[in-house]
Amino acid sequence: MKRPVVFLDRDGTLNEEVGYITDLSRLVLIHGAAQAIRLLNQHNVAAVLVTNQSGAARGFYPESHIQALNERLTELLKLEGAYLDGLYYCPHLPQGIVPYLAQDCLCRKPKPGMVQQAFRDNSCLDSARAYVIGDKSTDVELARNCQAKAVLVTTGFGQQVIDGSYQWKVNPDFIASNIGTAISWVINDLK
């Protein structure tokens, strides 16, 4: 039986938005994030991370640092009894300074490459019951590009998106004050 799936942004959605995280200790979960992911786990809804991480392409740190940050996120969730079913990141940026990462790719949100890869990697994910939760216009547009429902959280850059001072105006299916409210809405929407 296919499982519903929630594609989650990382920075500003699951962990506090602090800019490019060069020190692993600066990756701190937003209050209630682990409990929200655990709720997905308990309802057999796949939780899949999809995150743009251009810090390596910009030369701020090596690509291995992105992997270390994601390992820290995974460990912080595990400490509170939650887990991710998949984890995908895009390290690319067309105007990056690291040659092998300076490219226009199909995985950088809002393009659907990471979501498409997740569906290829796991045939039990149900594309008809898919959601994207994030704090940026690119997350809402990713949902539209994947025929998923879009939830914008007002943590991170979300409130600035709503105000029109960051990225561009979008029309998500739901606006949530935080990841916990977003996940509760998804669980209710699936009923």
Residues annotated catalytic, as ranges: 9, 11
> Which residues 6+ apart lie within 8 Å of 165 measured at CB?
none
Decide: helix, strand or coil at residue 74.
Answer: helix
98, 104, 127, 145 from 112: Cα distances, Å: 23, 13, 12, 6
DSSP string of 27-66? --BPTTHHHHHHHHHHTT-EEEEEEE-TTTTTTSS-HHHH
**Is the Cα dihedral 191, 137, 34, 112 positive or negative?**
positive
